[in-house]
């Protein structure tokens, strides 16, 4: 078991709010070279399985873990329901020949991505099978959690197609991606633009700075919407009218900490903290920070707010 084995991967994903299943033996599973060298991994590689549409999670995992002639194929398998299956803690074999690939820690040499990257295989045939939004959201959330845990930037991701263009197309196809994020297609196979992937990962990883409490006549409340999956930290006046609002998930560990801190401050001041409302009540508000994403009830455009600050 030479090298570094990422035996905390399951915990990292769970702490980020991902749903996780662990496959037996994953903590000691790796390619013949073993674990990662010191200072690695440098990159997170995104793939699709190219398995038949609606292939079960267990069938795909079995192939990744032991069924493939190059097993273990990947560190993680991401099913269409958004559940991560943890398959291997050491280096794996899915990336093959390609590169070189520049990332924030240096340049991955030609044909060396297997020893430099965490590899994620997502269940999809790559020829038009739909990518459910729950799977897309999990891809970004899990990738960003791993990047943060192992000292990488959110943009330290690469698609198989970008690593070895002309040989591999994954992930694809762009026009089958469900939800508000729409990657551009870079070829006739519909491969996702890796630049779009990196931009979106960086956006989703951006630290959300909640509004800071003002004096006693400006309170911070948690505005929970009844007609959306989103909630907001809101500066309100004494009548409860929101003034400045910042999206507060749910689902982000950083936001959960901010919410807990403001909840404690409200309790100390004996202020009401949670307040229900609806989207229409946001129109007079200034939005601070990013738009909500991953909302199954409402497709946010920014028109719900009076304006944006910062």
- Indicate whether 89 and 126 sit together in one domain: yes
Greatest distance between any 2 Cα atoms in the chain:
67
The answer to the question of residue 79 being in a domain is: yes
CA distance 36 to 300: 41
The pLDDT score that the predictor gives to residue 177 is: 97
Residues 273, 180, single domain; the answer is no
Q: Give the pLDDT confidence score for residue 19 in this predicted structure.
A: 93
Residues 265 and 129 occupy one common structural domain: no
| pLDDT given at position 218 | 63
Asked if residue 284 and residue 196 are part of one domain, the reply reads no
Domain count across the chain: 2
CATH number at residue 100: 3.40.80.10
1 inside domain: no
The alpha carbon dihedral of 152, 130, 173, 250 has a sign of negative
Q: Does residue 210 fall inside a structural domain?
A: no
Position 3 in a domain: no
Taking 70 as the pLDDT cut, the residues of the chain under it are: 1, 206-218, 238-239, 251-252, 307-310
Nearest by Cα to 203 from 245, 139, 251, 144: 144
Gap between the Cα atoms of 33 and 92, Å rounded: 9
Instruction: Let me know if residue 298 belongs to a domain.
Output: yes
Domain boundary among 148, 173, 205: 205
Task: Decide which of 205, 229, 247 is a domain's last residue.
Answer: 205
Around Cβ 130, how many Cβ atoms within 10 Å? 15
pTM (predicted TM-score): 0.70
Instruction: Return d(Cα 195, Cα 197) in angstroms, integer.
Output: 5
Residue 213: what pLDDT? 42
> Which tokens in the block code for residue 188?
């006739």
Is residue 287 one of the residues assigned to a domain? yes
Based on the fold, state whether residues 101 and 192 are members of the same structural domain.
yes
Tell me if 141 sits within 8 A of 251, measured CB to CB.
yes
| 57: in domain | yes
Are 130 and 240 members of one domain? no
131 and 279 in a single domain? The answer is no
Residue that the structure tokens 């060298």 belong to: 37
In a domain, 48, yes or no: yes
Same domain assignment for residues 198 and 267:
no
Residues 136 and 240 occupy one common structural domain: no
| 109 and 46 both lie in a single domain | yes
Task: Answer yes or no: do 233 and 295 share one domain.
Answer: yes
Q: Which of 138, 170, 205 corresponds to the end of one domain?
A: 205
Two tokens at 140? 């970004």
pLDDT number for residue 265: 87
Question: Do 179 and 279 have their domain in common?
Answer: no
Structural domain that includes position 118: 9-205
Q: Residues 42-89: pLDDT tens digits? A: 999 999 999 999 999 999 999 999 999 999 999 999 999 999 999 999
> How far, in Å, CA of 260 to CA of 262, rounded?
6
Long-range pairs, 264-267, Cβ under 8 A, ≥24 = 265/213, 265/220, 266/219, 266/220, 266/221
């Amino acid at each position: 078991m030479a090298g570094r084995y990422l035996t905390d991967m399951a915990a990292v994903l769970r702490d980020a709010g991902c749903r996780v299943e662990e496959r037996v033996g994953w903590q000691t599973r790796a390619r013949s070279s073993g674990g990662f060298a010191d200072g690695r991994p440098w990159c997170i590689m995104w793939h699709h399985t190219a398995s038949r549409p609606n292939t079960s999670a267990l069938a795909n995992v079995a192939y990744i873990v032991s069924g493939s002639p190059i097993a273990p194929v990947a560190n993680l398998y991401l099913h269409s329901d958004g559940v991560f299956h943890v398959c291997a803690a050491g280096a794996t074999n899915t990336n093959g020949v390609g590169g070189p690939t520049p990332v924030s820690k240096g340049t991955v040499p030609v044909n060396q991505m297997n020893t430099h990257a965490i590899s994620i295989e997502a269940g999809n045939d790559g020829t038009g099978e739909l990518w459910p939004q729950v799977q897309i959201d999990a891809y970004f959330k899990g990738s960003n959690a791993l990047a943060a845990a192992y000292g990488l930037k959110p943009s330290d991701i690469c698609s198989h197609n970008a690593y070895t263009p002309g040989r591999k197309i994954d992930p694809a196809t762009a026009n089958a991606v469900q939800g508000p994020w729409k990657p551009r297609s870079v070829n006739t196979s519909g491969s996702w633009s890796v630049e779009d992937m990196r931009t979106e990962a960086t956006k989703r990883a951006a630290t959300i700075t909640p509004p800071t409490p003002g004096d006693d006549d400006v309170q911070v409340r948690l505005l929970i919407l009844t007609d959306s999956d989103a909630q907001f930290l809101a500066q309100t006046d004494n009548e409860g009218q929101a003034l400045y609002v910042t999206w507060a998930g749910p689902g982000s560990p950083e936001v959960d900490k901010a919410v807990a801190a403001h909840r404690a401050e409200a309790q100390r001041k004996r202020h009401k903290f949670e307040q229900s409302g609806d989207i229409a009540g946001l129109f007079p508000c200034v939005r601070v920070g990013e738009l909500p994403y991953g909302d199954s009830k409402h497709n946010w455009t920014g028109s719900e707010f009076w304006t944006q600050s910062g």
